[in-house]
Structure 1
Amino acid sequence: MLKTVRRKFIAISTLALVIVLVTIIGSISFASFYRSKQEVNAVLTILMKNNGQLQRSANITPPQPNWMQPRQSREGIFQYRFFSSQLDPQGNVLSINDSHIETVPDGAINNLSELAFQRRRSRGTISYNRTLYAYRMKKVHNRYIIVFLDQSILMAESHDLLRIAVLVGIVSMVLYTFVLVVLSKKAIQPLVIAEKRQREFISNAGHELKTPLTVISANTEMQELTSGETELTRSNKDQIGRLTRLINNLISLTRLGERPDMNIEATDISTITEKNYDAFENVMKQSKLHLSKDIEPQVTAAVDANYYAELVNILLDNANKYCDKDGQVSVHLHKTKRGKGAVLTVSNSFAQGADVDYSKFFERFYREDTAHQQKGGFGIGLSMAQRIVNDFNGRIQAKYSNGQINFVVTLRG
Structure 2
Amino acid sequence: MIRVLQKKFVFTAMIAVSILILILLGTINVVNIIMVRNETNQTLSMISEADGNFDHIQPTPSSVPPFDFRIEPKDERDKFLSSNFFVVRLNGNGQIIFTDVSRTSSVDEASAEELALRVLDEGTRTGKVGKYRYQISNSHMGDETVIVFLDNSEEILSYARVLFLSGGIGIICWILMLFMVMFLSKKAIRPIAENIERQKQFVTNAGHEIKTPLAIILANMEAMELYNGENKWSKNIREQTVRLNGLMKNLLLLAKMDEGAAEIIKSEISLSELVSENVRAFAEPLNLRSITLQIEIQPKVIIKANKEQMSQLISILLDNASKYTNDSGTVIVSLQQSDKRIKLLIKNSCEKLPDTPPDKLFDRFYRGDKARTQKTGGYGIGLSVARSIAEANQGSITAVYENPNFVSFTVRL
User: TM-score, normalized by length of structure 1?
Assistant: 0.88
| Equivalent of residue 114 in structure 2, options 111, 114, 117 | 111
Matched, 1:133 2:135: no
Q: Does the C-alpha gap of structure 1 residues 377 and 39 become closer, same or farther in structure 2, counting only changes over 3 Å?
A: same
Shift of 1:265: 7.5
Q: Does the C-alpha gap of structure 1 residues 269 and 185 become closer, same or farther in structure 2, counting only changes over 3 Å?
A: farther
Which aligned pairs between 1:24-103 and structure 2 lie closer than 5 A? 24-55=24-55, 58-59=57-58, 72-77=74-79, 78-88=81-91, 91-103=94-106
Deviations 1:157-196 (A, max 9, x none): 3321221111011111111112222332232222322222
Contact between 1:2 and 1:191, CA under 8 Å: does it hold in 2?
Answer: no
Deviations 1:81-117 (A, max 9, x none): 1111113456543321112112222232122212211
Task: State the distance in 1 between where 2:327 and 2:284 align.
Answer: 16
Matched, 1:341 2:344: no
Task: State the distance in 1 between where 2:268 and 2:172 align.
Answer: 41
Deviations 1:198-253 (A, max 9, x none): 22211111111111111211211111111111111111111111111111111111
Which residue is equivalent to 2:400?
Answer: 399
Which residue is equivalent to 2:284?
Answer: 282
Q: Does the C-alpha gap of structure 1 residues 60 and 104 become closer, same or farther in structure 2, counting only changes over 3 Å?
A: farther
Unaligned runs of 5+ in 1: 63-69
Which aligned pairs between 1:113-262 and structure 2 lie closer than 5 A? 113-127=116-130, 132-140=131-139, 141-259=142-260, 260-262=262-264
Shift of 1:41: 0.8
DSSP-derived class of the 1:271 partner: helix
Shift of 1:35: 0.3
Shift of 1:405: 1.1
Contact between 2:254 and 2:385, CA under 8 Å: does it hold in 1?
Answer: yes
Shift of 1:371: 6.6
Task: State the distance in 1 between where 2:104 and 2:371 align.
Answer: 82
**Aligned AA (1:172):** C
Deviations 1:11-57 (A, max 9, x none): 111110111011111111111110000001100111111112223x6
Q: Does the C-alpha gap of structure 1 residues 298 and 119 become closer, same or farther in structure 2, counting only changes over 3 Å?
A: farther
**Aligned AA (1:185):** K
Shift of 1:266: 7.3
Shift of 1:126: 0.8
DSSP-derived class of the 2:54 partner: coil
Task: State the distance in 2 between where 1:340 and 1:103 align.
Answer: 63
Task: State the distance in 1 between where 2:331 and 2:306 align.
Answer: 25
Unaligned runs of 5+ in 2: 62-71
DSSP-derived class of the 2:400 partner: strand
Aligned residues: 397
Which residue is equivalent to 2:68?
Answer: none
Task: State the distance in 1 between where 2:94 and 2:268 align.
Answer: 77
Task: State the distance in 1 between where 2:105 and 2:250 align.
Answer: 85
| Equivalent of residue 291 in structure 1, options 293, 314, 325 | 293
Moved more, 102-111 or 212-221: 102-111
Which residue is equivalent to 1:317?
Answer: 319
Moved more, 110-119 or 348-357: 348-357
Task: State the distance in 2 between where 1:214 and 1:267 align.
Answer: 34
Task: State the distance in 1 between where 2:250 and 2:154 align.
Answer: 73
Contact between 1:276 and 1:313, CA under 8 Å: does it hold in 2?
Answer: yes
Which residue is equivalent to 1:10?
Answer: 10
Moved more, 248-257 or 90-99: 90-99
Identical pairs, percent: 30
Task: State the distance in 2 between where 1:92 and 1:410 align.
Answer: 77
DSSP-derived class of the 2:145 partner: strand
Deviations 1:280-318 (A, max 9, x none): 323433555332211122345564443222211111111
What RMSD, in angstroms, separates the aligned Cα atoms of the two structures?
A: 2.4
Task: State the distance in 1 between where 2:345 and 2:231 align.
Answer: 43
Shift of 1:61: 6.8
User: TM-score, normalized by length of structure 2?
Assistant: 0.88
Task: State the distance in 2 between where 1:225 and 1:369 align.
Answer: 39
Moved more, 297-306 or 243-252: 297-306
**Aligned AA (1:85):** V
**Aligned AA (1:101):** T
Q: Does the C-alpha gap of structure 1 residues 371 and 82 become closer, same or farther in structure 2, counting only changes over 3 Å?
A: farther
Task: State the distance in 1 between where 2:89 and 2:213 align.
Answer: 107
Contact between 2:354 and 2:368, CA under 8 Å: does it hold in 1?
Answer: no
DSSP-derived class of the 1:361 partner: helix
Task: State the distance in 2 between where 1:94 and 1:210 align.
Answer: 106
